[in-house]
Structures are given as C-alpha cells and as structure tokens.
Amino acid sequence: MSEAHRLCALAEIEEGQARGFEFGHRSVIAVARDGNLYTYVNWCPHLGIGLNFFPDEFLDQERQFLMCANHGALFEIETGECVSGPCQGEALLPVPHQIREGDIWVTLVEPPT
C-alpha cells in the first residue's frame, strides 16, 4: 500500500497557478483551475523527463495548458492529454490526491520506465 504525502495547504495554490513538489526522485505537479485541483507526475511521456526547466513554470504563456519546456508539447490541464506536440494522444500520469483539513495529500505513483 502506498503512503500519502502532504503537498501543501490547498490555499497555497492559487487559481490558475501550477506548482511542483519534489519527493526524492519523484516529482508532482499540482494545478488549480476553475475551482478544481489536478495533480500529475512531472514526467513527459515523449522524453521521460520533467516538464519544466525552472521551478513552478509548467503553464504555457496563455496559462491554458501544461507545457513541456523541452519540445513545447501541450497537455490539457483537466485530463493530462497531450493535444499538441510529439506525444500527441498520450497523457500525463495522474496522481491520486485528497484534501484533508485544508491540506493536499497525494499518493505517489511511478512513471513508466
């Protein structure tokens, strides 16, 4: 059984913001959009590396999609599906999360090898 890990307080992720969190060799992206929270493994299905070059820079310029900084692939925030780029039709790996007493907790998953 996987252990839950606290990301942060829900209030620390503002609407329209994406943040990254590190747990050893595993990394999680959390995005707040339209009153919902989405969490994914920070791992591009095309190259098998993190999406970002700089901390917390996961969104495209219009803040409508998650974007891989390496090759510009765009992923829908709500589904993780790649809608543009070399991994079109693939998707980010969702991370199960819960809100407990105002905090975000995730159950870490491993990206494919």
Give buried/exposed letters for 43-73 (b at 16+ CB in 10 A, else e).
bbbeeeebbbeeeeebbeeeeebbbbebeeb
pLDDT in tens, 6-61: 999 999 999 999 999 999 888 999 999 999 999 999 999 988 899 999 999 999 99
pLDDT of residue 111: 76
Domains of the chain: residue spans and CATH: 4-107 (2.102.10.10)
Whole-model pTM: value is: 0.93
pLDDT of residue 24: 86
pLDDT of residue 55: 94
The percent of residues in the chain predicted with pLDDT above 70, rounded, is 97
